[in-house]
Amino acid sequence: HPVDALIRRLPKTELHLHIEGTLEPELMFALAKRNGVALPYADVDALRAAYDFSDLQSFLDLYYAGADVLRTRQDFYDLTWAYLERAQADGIVHTEIFFDPQTHTGRGIPFDVAFGGIRQALDDARSRLGISSRLILSFLRHLSEEDGLATLEVALPHLAGIDGFGLDSSERGHPPSKFQRLFARCRSLGLPCVAHAGEEGPPAYVWEALDLLQVVRIDHGVRSLEDLGLVQRLAEARVPLTVCPLSNVRLKVCPQLAMHPLRQMLQAGLLATVNSDDPAYFGGYLQENFLACRAALDLSADEVVRLVRNGFEAAWLPAAEQARWL
Ligand code: ES4
Ligand code: ZN
């Protein structure tokens, strides 16, 4: 299809990617062997067969279990480098990635082991692959605000290598309002904040992320369409939404890709972007997300260009750099 050629050719951004969600089954088995970790699956195929999720939590249970093979700084470097090579093949020129330090500190892996390996790979990608990046420290919302505050304290010596803060994990029952003090502290450090909201949670959680956490972007936000006042607010303030179509289908946020609200979001004037979320678990990296949406929704060339341009507008790039791509 001619629009597919356009998708492949355009330089793109990725603004919603969990680095732990890029752990491919092959690398998971290789790291398990390297670190002497036993996996409860016979092989790569048995593991992949388990990637049949009923909701966000059923995915998160596997995602946190899988991350247990990540033990050393080299493991985190290898994980991140594999993603960056993949990103380059997909035409990504700028990526803003999340890491979940509490997933690692909670099982005894020091903050600087995870952070150091990821940071080094991102730095190397700038010179070796020509990919620019930002690193977003994301807090786990199923844990307490105190745990988040303690994590932030541990991160402070490394703040020069951190570009922003996020909020992810189990959304239902863990509203943004639970983290007001933590995000006030993050903002006082002069860094931008984002939050997952309106993925499984209601539009009220998107309002809270905007008004109580003062985030500059909403991750997912697909359920915002249920609240017209919220759509108006997001459109007028040009708050970017980092939408992840294949993720939404795999986690049953959306019944099938043909019913995904991506086009409605654009038509409502929202600054929607396309991203891959946890591509090793959801069956496709960025290019696959675009190509699958093109086919299922019959996206036009104009719509694809709009989505790609939105990515550059939503990215944390200096104005001069942004202007170069737009
Ligand atoms: C996530 Cl898809 C999704 N939603 C919320 N938290 C997450 N962490 C990793 N992937
Ligand atoms: Zn996510």
Interface predicted TM-score of the whole assembly (ipTM), two decimals: 0.98
Q: Is 104 exposed, middle or buried (0-12, 13-18, 19+ CB in 10 A)?
A: buried
**Ligand 1 touching residue 16 (CB < 6 A):** no
Mean per-residue pLDDT over the chain, rounded: 98
**Ligand 1 touching residue 151 (CB < 6 A):** no
**Ligand 1 touching residue 20 (CB < 6 A):** no
Q: Would you place residue 222 in the very low, low, confident or very high pLDDT band (cuts 50, 70, 90)?
A: very high
pLDDT score of 307: 98
- How far does residue 2's CA lie from ligand 2's centre (Å)? 30
- How far does residue 195's CA lie from ligand 2's centre (Å)? 9
Q: How far apart are CA 138 and CA 57, in angstroms?
A: 17
Residues noted as catalytic: 199
Ligand 1 atom 5, closest CA? 169
Q: Would you place residue 126 in the very low, low, confident or very high pLDDT band (cuts 50, 70, 90)?
A: very high
pLDDT score of 69: 98
**Which pTM was predicted?**
0.98
* Mean pLDDT of the region 44-60: 98
Amino acid (1-letter code) at residue 40: P
Q: Would you place residue 100 in the very low, low, confident or very high pLDDT band (cuts 50, 70, 90)?
A: very high
- CA 20 to ligand 1: nearest atom: 9
pLDDT score of 119: 99
* Mean pLDDT of the region 274-300: 98
Ligand 1 atom 4, closest CA? 169
Angle at CA 155, nearest 5°, toward 154 and 161?
Answer: 155
Amino acid (1-letter code) at residue 34: R
pLDDT score of 15: 99
- CA 247 to ligand 1: nearest atom: 2
pLDDT score of 95: 99
- Digit-coded pLDDT (tens) for 224-254: 999 999 999 999 999 999 999 999 999 999 9
Ligand 1 atom 6, closest CA? 169
pLDDT score of 304: 98
Neighbours of ion ligand 2 (CB under 5 A): 277
Ligand number with the minimum distance to the CA of 170: 1
Ligand number with the minimum distance to the CA of 22: 1
pLDDT score of 49: 97
Q: Nearest Cα to 58, choosing from 291, 250, 304, 278?
A: 250
- Digit-coded pLDDT (tens) for 288-302: 999 999 999 999 999
* Mean pLDDT of the region 211-220: 98
**Ligand 1 touching residue 21 (CB < 6 A):** yes
Q: Would you place residue 160 in the very low, low, confident or very high pLDDT band (cuts 50, 70, 90)?
A: very high
- How far does residue 70's CA lie from ligand 1's centre (Å)? 18
Cβ neighbours of residue 229 closer than 8 Å, sequence gap 6 or more: none
Q: What is the CATH number of domain 2-314?
A: 3.20.20.140
Percent of the chain with pLDDT over 90: 100
